[in-house]
Amino acid sequence: MAVEKLFKDEATEEKGERARMASFVGAMAIADLVKTTLGPKGMDKILQSTGRGHSVTVTNDGATILKSLHIDNPAAKVLIDISKVQDDEVGDGTTSVVVLAGELLREAEKLVGSKIHPMTIISGFRMASECARSALLDRVKDNKDDAEKFRSDLMRIAKTTLSSKILSQDKEHFAKLAVDAVMRLKGSTNLESIQIIKKAGGSLKDSFLDEGFILDKKIGLGQPKRIENANILVANTAMDTDKVKIYGARVRVDSMAKVAQIEGAEKEKMREKVQKIIGHGINCFVNRQLIYNFPEELFADAGILAIEHADFEGIERLGLVTGGEIASTFDNPESVKLGHCKLIEEIMIGEDKLIHFSGVEMGQACTIVLRGASFHVLDEAERSLHDALCVLSQTVNDSRVLLGGGWPEMVMAKAVDELARKTPGKKSHAIEAFSRALIAIPTTIADNAGLDSAELVAQLRAEHHKEDSNAGIDVITGSVGDMSELGISEAFKVKQAVLLSATEAAEMILRVDEIITCAPRRREDRM
């Protein structure tokens, strides 16, 4: 006896072939969407929101594109997640990971069509990804002990990462900025202490790295414009209590003189608070909230530089950089940790005045000031630079380096192909399919550059059959080139993350045999 209907009206289910079809198609569509942004000749996408303001983003970064899409297909969501994780984890390779997962599913679809069970395909993929990873491990270079070589490795990695982004024209300049900034971190992966300030105007070439900290604020009136050997108190406290808030209080008085008395008392309270703050022996006071005219005047009389409304990120970073802690009570000065720096002065960037702290405690901190023609350019430049900084800071920790330009994929594909020949049974088909999916990355790089990908990939494969070949795709000349001479390098950590995440995501989507879509439970009308 068949059950007529199991689910309520709004729920739908798709079984077996149709479910698998839906997930394959969704995942491949997402992969094709970002495919054109891969590689040094990849194109950008414009993302326009239909909400208020119609904000426009122009970007080449896979994770940013996918993050902004609202998608119905469940398999596509899995791919968006892996690209997001790749972005958080290592910063680069967000497009490659989606393209690879999409290709794996495209190959898997053919295998499922020729009656191979998904579990067989999955175990084949597992073997293949292990084999590919060990093939990469055999060919990594590690120059951690030689500082000169290691720095040139970092420069190469930065240039490779930036060459697919908007900064590719000035990649020498920006690679140097990024490497200098990361080298100052001395091995920590915390990018908080590298601050990026965007100022429209000038061109991208005018961007520079500043040793020290720049706060995007103006110095108040009548206050010292330059302070040497500053002691800084970083605070988050209300400095606006010297006026009676008309709307917030209800006070009954019988004459105006009494109001004046109340105001006087409030002023006294404020004066006491300011005296307490001055008692810390400081000459610079940075507050997150606003500072009214009266306390500002008191600070100016005491020769103290008071900065108000320093945004929260700015103030946390300032605390981090100058070695101070954020204080909110001032009763016992000995327990408050002050920040120190050698010099505070006002500088001009373009049209704007900013406050510059130099000679800060934490020598690791620095500020990168980006200049550019428009805000869209600046946003994209910041994303590109952030990718480069992430990759570099990961590489400083895990200093293994590979060549780039489709070389790692060819090395992996060769090893995986050999494994397929040795493996008996149906698994070998899946392993072979894995190697075809890997080759899709160099193919896409060549396609995006408008080259004949079939010809180039065939040449590459022939080159890689010689021992220890360094061949990869040189998109500039449009031929097969030697990657170590061209100085195209990638971080091992990025490649490993791409390989493992893509395999796992493909595996997860392959396991699906039923999709149940369910409407949320409605609230009953309580009438």
| Nearest in space to 304 (alpha carbons), one of 285, 288, 318 | 285
Q: Which of 387, 417, 447, 474 is catalytic?
A: 387
Residues 6+ apart with CB under 8 A from 198: 370, 372, 375, 378, 379, 381, 382
Answer for the pair 206, 301: CB distance below 8 angstroms, yes or no: no
Active-site annotation holds for 32: no
40: three-class secondary structure by DSSP: coil
Burial of 180 by CB count in 10 Å (0-12 exposed, 13-18 middle, 19+ buried)? middle
| Nearest in space to 460 (alpha carbons), one of 502, 408, 416 | 408
| Nearest in space to 440 (alpha carbons), one of 123, 56, 32 | 32
Residue 525 corresponds to which amino acid?
D
Active-site annotation holds for 452: no
Backbone angles phi, psi at 189, to 5 degrees: -100, 15
Answer for the pair 465, 415: CB distance below 8 angstroms, yes or no: no
Q: Which two tokens stand for residue 288?
A: 């997150």
Answer for the pair 176, 155: CB distance below 8 angstroms, yes or no: yes
237: three-class secondary structure by DSSP: coil
Backbone angles phi, psi at 438, to 5 degrees: -65, -40
Q: How far apart are CA 151 and CA 141, in angstroms?
A: 13
Q: Cα separations (Å) of 22 from 90, 101, 512?
A: 30, 16, 10
CA-angle at 235, arms to 233 and 241, nearest 5°: 120
Active-site annotation holds for 61: yes
Q: Which of 94, 160, 161, 444 is catalytic?
A: 94
Q: Which of 37, 57, 59, 61 is catalytic?
A: 61
| Nearest in space to 310 (alpha carbons), one of 291, 330, 323 | 291
Beta-carbon neighbour count of residue 510 at 10 Å? 24
292: three-class secondary structure by DSSP: coil
434: three-class secondary structure by DSSP: helix
Q: Which of 37, 95, 161, 503 is catalytic?
A: 95
Beta-carbon neighbour count of residue 358 at 10 Å? 15
**Which ranges of 36-146 does DSSP label H, i.e. alpha helix?**
62-67, 74-89, 94-113, 118-138
Element (H, E) at 272: helix 256-278
Beta-carbon neighbour count of residue 376 at 10 Å? 17
Answer for the pair 83, 94: CB distance below 8 angstroms, yes or no: yes
Answer for the pair 37, 44: CB distance below 8 angstroms, yes or no: yes
51: three-class secondary structure by DSSP: coil
Residues 6+ apart with CB under 8 A from 351: 201
Residues labelled catalytic: 61, 94-95, 387
